[in-house]
Amino acid sequence: MVGGGYVGMYTALRLQRQLGAELRAGTAEIVVVTPEPYMTYQPFLPEAAAGSISPRHVVVPLRRVLDRCRVLIGEVRSVDHAKRTATLSTLATEEEGAGAVEMTYDELVIAPGSVSRTLPVPGLADHGIGFKTVEEAIGLRNHVIEQMDIASSTRDPALRDAALTFVFVGGGYAGVEALAELEDMARYTARYYHNVKPEDLRWVLVEASDRILPEVGEEMGRYAIRELRGRNIDVRLETRLESCEDRVAVLSDGTRLPTRTVVWTAGVKPAPSSPPPTCP
Ligand SMILES: Cc1cc2nc3c(=O)[nH]c(=O)nc-3n(C[C@H](O)[C@H](O)[C@H](O)COP(=O)(O)OP(=O)(O)OC[C@H]3O[C@@H](n4cnc5c(N)ncnc54)[C@H](O)[C@@H]3O)c2cc1C
């Protein structure tokens, strides 16, 4: 099994149930190769970022759930499906300086998921914040609170405005939910600051198409926009992020937003290390 994410974990779980007798008899073995010892339930990342749920409730420890599988922490580097071999690097191969090891298999499940799809937007690689892992979600929460602390303690109005401006690029599930949850959290948190009011915070959602949340249909998308705008969130449709250098986000409608926070949730692409799904 390549990957112990949502697909990999559930596939291994079903297999270990179905192959119970063979696994006990030692005539079958399920090996899950994945870089982290836990599965991240990504739909709960926005709630974890907002502090509504604990980070440990967003992850599932693979060894506990897949107790009849072999969990190997590492990455599959390549697959030779004709020979039924996979080359993997593990934490041990790195420690030993061994490079990689080869493993044979009968059946291969490829589930390496996706990574953020970045575009060649100047400044994005250096300043864009992703939102796909529990570390990024908690990092973003801390970052937002840190910006409120900066705003609270500076005497420079320009720095204060930039610290309190949060730009999210991409109006899919990840961007909309992350923005909405964090705005909620920051609005609540503002009550503990003597000089930061909820209305001082500026939240901007930048979406290239003419709608948000395409997965839920047009009517629900329009409803979500009304709700967000009702909360004073600046939703910009048919607008792209042109650049985010020197702490200024420049949008395709000409707006320049001094900001220290650009969250990039504008889509995903296949995991780069994905072994090619070759077939004989
Ligand atoms: C913020 C957010 C909110 C979301 N909300 C929803 C929602 O409400 N509803 C919904 O349906 N979907 C939602 N999604 C999408 C959903 O989480 C994904 O579709 C799902 O996680 C995909 O599962 P996967 O197993 O393909 O990939 P992942 O869960 O990403 O798992 C892939 C795993 O493979 C590992 N891996 C990668 N390369 C290798 C390699 N070479 N060797 C070994 N392992 C490797 C990765 O490290 C990872 O652990 C959301 C996503 C995000 C980011």
Distance 7 CA to ligand 1 centre (A): 8
**Nearest CA residue ID for atom 7, ligand 1:** 43
Q: Which atom of ligand 1 is nearest to the CA of 46?
A: 1
Going from N- to C-terminal start, the domains of the chain cover 6-112, 124-268
Domain covering 124-268 in this structure, CATH number: 3.50.50.100
Lowest-pLDDT range of 181-185, 221-225, 251-255, 263-267 = 263-267
Note the helical H segments in the chain: 6-18, 20-25, 45-50, 62-65, 91-96, 124-127, 134-153, 157-163, 173-189, 218-230
Task: Specify the ligand 1 atom closest to the Cα of 74.
Answer: 43
Residue 67: what pLDDT? Answer: 97
Ligand 1 atom 12, closest CA: 43
Give the binding-site residues of ligand 1, using a 6 Å CB cut-off: 2-8, 33-36, 42-43, 45-46, 75-76, 111-113, 131-132, 173-174, 271, 273
- For the CA of 33, the closest atom of ligand 1 is 43
6-112, what's its fold? Answer: FAD/NAD(P)-binding domain (3.50.50)
Residue-averaged pLDDT of the chain: 94
pLDDT of 244 above 80: yes
Cα 94 to Cα 109: distance, rounded to the nearest angstrom: 24
95 confidence band (pLDDT: 50, 70, 90) = confident
| Mean pLDDT of all residues in 27-51 | 97
Looking up tokens 């949502």 gives 6
**Could you tell me the distance, in angstroms and rounded to a whole number, from the CA of residue 114 to the centre of ligand 1?**
6
Confidence of residue 279 (pLDDT cuts 50, 70, 90): very low
pLDDT class of 240 with cuts at 50, 70, 90: very high
Please state the rounded mean pLDDT for residues 103-112: 96
